[in-house]
Amino acid sequence: MVSERGLQVLRAIVQDFVDTREPVGSKSIVERHAFGVSAATIRNDMAQLEDEDLITAPHTSSGRIPTDKGYRVFVDHLAEVRPLSTAQRSAIQTFLADPVDLDDLLVRTVRTLNRLTGQVAIVQYPSFERAHVTHVEFVSLGGPRVVVIVVTDTGQVSQRMMLLRDELDDDETAAVKRAMAALVTGRSVADAAHAIAELLVAEPAPAGRIDDAVRAVARTVGEELAEFRQDRLVMAGSASLARLESDFRGSIYPLLEAIEEQVTLLRLMSEMVADEQGLAASIGRENEPFGLSEASVVVSDYEATASRARVGVLGPTRMDYPTNLAAVRAVAHYLGRLLDDDERAR
């Protein structure tokens, strides 16, 4: 059982190690922190922390550094996540203001978070599975070439060029539009995708230009709806890993691979359990099932169109957890507010 002063000593060791990258000794703790006790007393506290596997000596007769378990205890015992400065909050508002669309907003989000933390920044696309299709259109580009446009009530707009088997006249084009409207308009993205799947597996009608076109357009719309439902990540700051490479005990290759593949990070982020503030941290060996035992991930939930997604940072276990937790919480707050304002404006 770690005493209250022992927790304070652990906090000092974590803070000093994050600041200096150097193992922390009892003498430096006495000099840098006002504990009001001798170095010998601090050494006794450090011995207890070492017995609890919260700190360790990287070399014989050296100072101590936090273990993964030590970082976990440190994070769990944070009295509160300190707020960002006025300048930092102003920067977030400025960087995220007036986005062109959702894609632009999420790109700005990760760039902002990378600037604030110096870590790899990650944001998960919100799921639009419960959004509803409001409009399906296609525009002729001449000959059999058309652009298919899908619009949802959450503002998602998809445009995709495709080739029909035959060029349609105006009456045939109108018939295909009516068929597609009847098939998907007013349905949720999930229900519309299901309706299209049923159409495509059903026995096709006798060959005809309209029937062929309806099935072809439906197949394209189905593929676009699948994109709306797909879990995706936007990331920024991967180059930060090279700068921070010395903070990793082993190779940074698994992290680079996870960033490239995305599936691992999506699984990890989805399984992290958030606290009442919507914050979560997964530290070091806790990430071993995902092959990321050298890294820590800090995330915050954000609300979007009646769904919830996450924004966060990925970096070494030797990271500034209080600052990173505050940054992801603040960015998530502004991101959710912008999406809510956009939803109300529609």
- Identify the band that residue 226 occupies on the pLDDT scale cut at 50, 70 and 90: confident
Domain ranges, ordered by start, for the chain:
4-76, 86-126+231-345, 133-229
Question: Between residues 313 and 143, which one has the greater pLDDT?
Answer: 313
Question: Between residues 269 and 343, which one has the greater pLDDT?
Answer: 269
Distances (CA, A) of 80 to 83, 146, 155, 207, 314: 9, 56, 36, 67, 21
* Mean of pLDDT values over 149-170: 86
Whole-number Å distance between alpha carbons of 177 and 138: 8
| Spacing of C-alpha 269 from chain mean position | 7
- pLDDT for 277 equals 87
How large a percentage of the chain has pLDDT more than 70?
95
Whole-number Å distance between alpha carbons of 75 and 315: 15
Q: Answer whether CATH 3.30.1360.200 is correct for domain 86-126+231-345.
A: no
Listed in sequence order, the DSSP H helices in 160-229 are 170-184, 189-201, 209-229
Whole-number Å distance between alpha carbons of 82 and 80: 6
* Mean of pLDDT values over 286-312: 89
Residues 254-297 pLDDT 10s: 888 888 888 899 999 989 999 988 999 999 999 999 999 999 99
Distances (CA, A) of 247 to 78, 130, 178, 183, 293: 23, 42, 60, 55, 13
Contact residues for 312 (Cβ-Cβ < 8 A; gap 6+):
121, 122, 123, 269, 297, 298, 299, 300, 328
- Identify the band that residue 211 occupies on the pLDDT scale cut at 50, 70 and 90: confident
Residues 110-145 pLDDT 10s: 999 999 999 999 999 887 767 889 999 888 888 889
Question: Between residues 36 and 69, which one has the greater pLDDT?
Answer: 69
Whole-number Å distance between alpha carbons of 121 and 235: 5
Number of H helices, E strands in the chain: 13, 10
Q: How are beta strands 145-152 and 133-142 bridged, if at all? A: antiparallel
- pLDDT for 192 equals 92
* Mean of pLDDT values over 217-237: 86
Residue 69 near residue 24 (C-beta atoms within 8 A) = no
Whole-number Å distance between alpha carbons of 27 and 29: 5
- pLDDT for 168 equals 87
Output the average pLDDT for the chain. Answer: 89
Whole-number Å distance between alpha carbons of 9 and 14: 9
Listed in sequence order, the DSSP H helices in 22-140 are 26-32, 39-51, 68-76, 86-96, 102-117
Confidence check: pLDDT of 204 > 90 = no
| Spacing of C-alpha 156 from chain mean position | 19
Helix (H, G, I), strand (E, B) or coil at 257: helix
Confidence check: pLDDT of 345 > 60 = no
Q: Answer whether CATH 3.30.390.60 is correct for domain 133-229.
A: yes
- pLDDT for 179 equals 92
- pLDDT for 184 equals 93
Confidence check: pLDDT of 308 > 60 = yes
Lowest-confidence pick of 38-42, 67-71, 209-213: 209-213
Question: Between residues 228 and 191, which one has the greater pLDDT?
Answer: 191
Residue 8 near residue 35 (C-beta atoms within 8 A) = yes
pTM (2 d.p.): 0.77
Residue 14 near residue 64 (C-beta atoms within 8 A) = no
Confidence check: pLDDT of 153 > 70 = yes
Confidence check: pLDDT of 344 > 60 = no
- pLDDT for 7 equals 93
Residues 55-92 pLDDT 10s: 999 876 679 999 999 999 999 998 778 788 899 999 99
**Class assignment of domain 4-76?**
mainly alpha
Q: How are beta strands 295-304 and 307-316 bridged, if at all? A: antiparallel
Tokens of 289: 């099932």
Confidence check: pLDDT of 206 > 80 = no
* Mean of pLDDT values over 23-29: 93
- pLDDT for 78 equals 85
